[in-house]
């Protein structure tokens, strides 16, 4: 088992906790669930808005589940070259967080819409570290 395989397994385990939280414990403030956003609780005041928010939360969970299952298929069927390119793709995909989501979550954090305060910085560091880990593991794995 090479470095990228180990990192993919770790990523699948980590993100699986997020899928479980989103599906079954969306109000949680752990596992990157939506309980950190004050607007989630506020959405309950309008049933139509809350249904829409719940739909989007479950859609994200479903999309993550599809993604994770495809990663497992790749992990168990790809050769070394396929895993190498999967590692590169994962680094790019994880880094895409900084294009649209990070500016938004940082603004919401600054405006007091997130509890605990400073959550956006922690999330940014965690996701940057995850992207870096994919890059390093991909380099260490190389093409055989």
Q: In this predicted model, what pLDDT tens digit does every residue of 21-54 receive, in sequence order?
A: 999 999 999 888 999 999 999 999 999 999 999 9
Is-above-0.85 flag for pTM? yes
CA 73 to chain centre: 19
Whole-angstrom distance, CA of residue 143 vs CA of residue 82 = 9
How many structural domains are present in the chain?
1
Domain of residue 61, residue span: 3-141
pLDDT at 142 over 90: no
């Amino acid at each position: 088992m090479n470095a990228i395989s180990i990192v993919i397994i770790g990523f699948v385990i980590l993100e699986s906790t997020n899928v479980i939280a989103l599906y079954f414990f969306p109000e949680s403030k752990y596992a990157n669930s939506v309980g950190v956003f004050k607007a989630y609780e506020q959405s309950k005041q309008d049933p139509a808005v809350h249904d829409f928010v719940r739909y989007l939360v479950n859609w994200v969970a479903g999309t993550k589940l599809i993604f994770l299952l495809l990663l497992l298929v790749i992990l168990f069927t790809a050769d070394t070259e396929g895993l190498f390119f999967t590692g590169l793709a994962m680094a790019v995909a994880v880094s895409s967080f900084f294009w649209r989501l990070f500016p938004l979550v940082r603004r919401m954090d600054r405006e007091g819409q997130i509890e605990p305060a400073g959550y956006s910085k922690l999330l940014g560091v965690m996701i940057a570290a995850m992207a870096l880990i994919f890059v390093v593991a991909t380099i260490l794995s190389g093409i055989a």
